[in-house]
Structure 1
């Protein structure tokens, strides 16, 4: 995964929302209880928060991801979700553009610098940006779905979500292009397209039905 992957997804997101109107913004997203306005607000707020993580790390400082923690994060999403389409689109464009500009400042020797997002580093933060932009762009339900996820992204997301495999379970996800497994115990083998298997593991709708065990929460 490289910065180019993040740029590509950012471009896809901004293109999909370029003509956003108010009815579309008020429409349901893929996420239960969230409109597209909720998802767009979350992506914009995450982008601003990660920009701050990057900029502070480059100055040798650590800063909380969201002032006020998760309760403030959730409140900000609810507060911003019902804005007009123009306001949502402007916020999203400015936030995502600023995030890309911050990532452009990172030199090859900077990637190990620590950040407080998941108590990780800038390299992991770039991966988080890739995940957030990709997954939530598909959550909008606007001509981009998990079926459009790349194989590299699918394998990355599966590895990131390994903690979702239930205890005492050896989960094997087998597609025509890749086989991924995790855990120990009773073997459970699921077959299908890699994008469907990954979407199921991520708790997202699948193009074809995938029936598997109940998964643990996101890490």
Structure 2
């Protein structure tokens, strides 16, 4: 993963919501129970939180991802979801711009610095940023779909999501436009489709083209 991939994903997201109107902002996203206002607020808040993760890491310090943990995170999303559309868009733009500026300050020797998010490192953190931007752009339901996910992102996401493969299942994904991907041991389940649709299925997202084969019941998102 390169920072340019994150910047490309960020540009796609901010361009997608530019000019958002009130009706569209109140409409449902593709995430159950969340409007687009909820989702935009979440991505903005994530960006602010991760900017802080980067800034503290570069000082050799750790800080909680969200003050007050997950309950405070959820409350902040609910509190911000119904803001005017223009405010949602401006907040997202500011948050993402600040986050990209923070990542720009990370030097070649900084990537192993620890962060609190998943008890990981800045190298893992920029991957998390990539996932957040790419996936939630599609989740907005504004025309962007997983079909736009780059092949490099699909490869990364499939690897990240390996904990979703059930025990006792040898999952084989056979894309029509990419290499075979396998995980697990046991009863073989072979699924076919495009790379983006197979990746979207594994991520629990709608697919634009069919995924064919005996689908196992996946474990929760890691």
Q: Distance in 1 between matches of 2:71 and 2:183?
A: 33
2:198 alignment partner in structure 1: 197
Q: Distance in 1 between matches of 2:111 and 2:121?
A: 7
> Are 1:146 and 2:159 matched, yes or no?
no
| SS of structure 2 residue aligned to 1:187 | strand
| SS of structure 1 residue aligned to 2:25 | helix
> Are 1:155 and 2:155 matched, yes or no?
yes
Q: Distance in 2 between matches of 1:195 and 1:106?
A: 30
2:13 alignment partner in structure 1: 13
1:216 alignment partner in structure 2: 219
**CA displacement at 1:209 relative to structure 2:** 3.2
> Are 1:46 and 2:49 matched, yes or no?
no
**CA displacement at 1:190 relative to structure 2:** 0.2
2:174 alignment partner in structure 1: 174
What is the TM-score normalised by the length of structure 1?
A: 0.98
Give per-residue Cα distances to partners, 1:33-77, cap 9 Å, x unaligned: 111001100100000010000000000100000011111111111
Taking the TM superposition and a 5 Å limit, the aligned residue runs for 1:87-166 are: 87-166=87-166
**CA displacement at 1:99 relative to structure 2:** 0.0
Structure 1: runs of 5 or more not aligned: none
Q: Distance in 2 between matches of 1:24 and 1:138?
A: 15
| SS of structure 2 residue aligned to 1:189 | strand
What is the TM-score normalised by the length of structure 2?
A: 0.97
Q: What stretches of structure 1 move > 6 A for 4+ residues in a row?
A: none
